[in-house]
Amino acid sequence: MGIFENMIRSLTESYTKNPNSNIGKLILLVSGQMEDLDETLRKIEDWRDINQAEGETLDLIAANVGQMRGLATDEVLRILIRARVARNLSNGTLDGIIQSLAVTLNTTPDKFGIKELYNDSLTPEPAAIVITGLPIEVINQSGMSAVQFGKITQRVVASGVRVAAIDLSGTFDFSSQYDVLENNTATGFAPVNQSTGGTLSGSFDPDDEIVLPI
């Protein structure tokens, strides 16, 4: 029930409770201003959350953790804020890295995996890791490019540890039957309008990209 209805109902029996009466019109004017104020206060409360804050309010939240906006959109700035907070709290362990990345992308830790390269059979390297198992749609939904995520990832890990690569997993799958196209709209080939279909996987090497001001 709105403010106007509550005020009408609160009138004593000495007054008519008809919304179209003079007293009803007066209450309508007052309640309208109160509803506008209430909406503003609710927005202020909601915008304390970085997932809902926008524009200059989001800039103020970012400034509290020492994060500059630059040319980032609101969506990307939210990720940068979460990444800065997460890496400040990270203990540098593998579990800590996974938790930090999950916080950064606002997803769950089970989306990630980490492979250490110190005992790799082909190219062993101490203090180097590969991020594995990350669904590419998580990156796409975040509004951040793989390049930007790669740079953030390098800053989340402990000092001296190199992120050698990030393997992004897709959902595309071939049919289990020979000479038969996969007809699953979630994992198979996309129709002409590209409205459904599986996504391809990819691999990102942070060392091959330019340095971003993150």
* Residues 121-162 pLDDT 10s: 888 999 898 888 776 777 777 777 777 787 888 888 877 888
> Is the pLDDT score of 119 beyond 80?
yes
> Is the pLDDT score of 83 beyond 60?
yes
> Would you say residue 110 lies in a domain?
yes
**Exposure on the CB side of residue 108, measured as CA atoms within 13 A:** 2
pLDDT of the residue at 174: 59
> Is the pLDDT score of 189 beyond 70?
no
pLDDT of the residue at 211: 45
pLDDT of the residue at 212: 43
Same domain, 38 and 96: no
Same domain, 16 and 106: no
Same domain, 40 and 99: no
- Rounded to two decimals, what is the model's pTM? 0.58
Largest Cα span, the chain = 90
Burial class (CB within 10 angstroms; exposed 0-12, middle 13-18, buried 19+) of 139:
buried
> Would you say residue 119 lies in a domain?
yes
Whole-angstrom CA distances from 55 to 24, 44, 52, 99, 161 are 39, 13, 10, 27, 35
143: left (phi over 0), alpha (psi -120 to 50) or beta: left
Same domain, 152 and 198: yes
> Would you say residue 174 lies in a domain?
yes
pLDDT of the residue at 165: 83
In total, how many domains does the chain have?
A: 2
Tokens of 114: 């980490």
> Is the pLDDT score of 210 beyond 60?
no
Residue type, 45: E
pLDDT of the residue at 195: 63
pLDDT of the residue at 203: 52
Total Cβ atoms within 10 A of residue 59: 16
Same domain, 187 and 147: yes
The domain in which residue 174 lies consists of: 62-208
> Would you say residue 53 lies in a domain?
no
Same domain, 128 and 197: yes
pLDDT of the residue at 190: 64
> Would you say residue 140 lies in a domain?
yes
Looking at per-residue confidence, does 142 or 202 come out higher?
A: 142
Looking at per-residue confidence, does 209 or 124 come out higher?
A: 124
> Would you say residue 52 lies in a domain?
no
pLDDT of the residue at 161: 85
Same domain, 13 and 112: no
Same domain, 165 and 70: yes
Q: With CA atoms as reference, report the closest residue to 145 among 89, 72, 87.
A: 72
Looking at per-residue confidence, does 177 or 131 come out higher?
A: 131
Same domain, 127 and 185: yes
Same domain, 127 and 155: yes
Whole-number average pLDDT of the chain = 77
Total Cβ atoms within 10 A of residue 146: 18
Q: Report the distance separating Cα 55 and Cα 78, nearest Å.
A: 11
> Would you say residue 51 lies in a domain?
no
Q: Tokens 């008809």 correspond to what residue?
A: 18
Same domain, 81 and 184: yes
> Would you say residue 54 lies in a domain?
no
Same domain, 136 and 40: no
**Residues contacting residue 37 through CB under 8 Å, at least 6 positions apart:** none
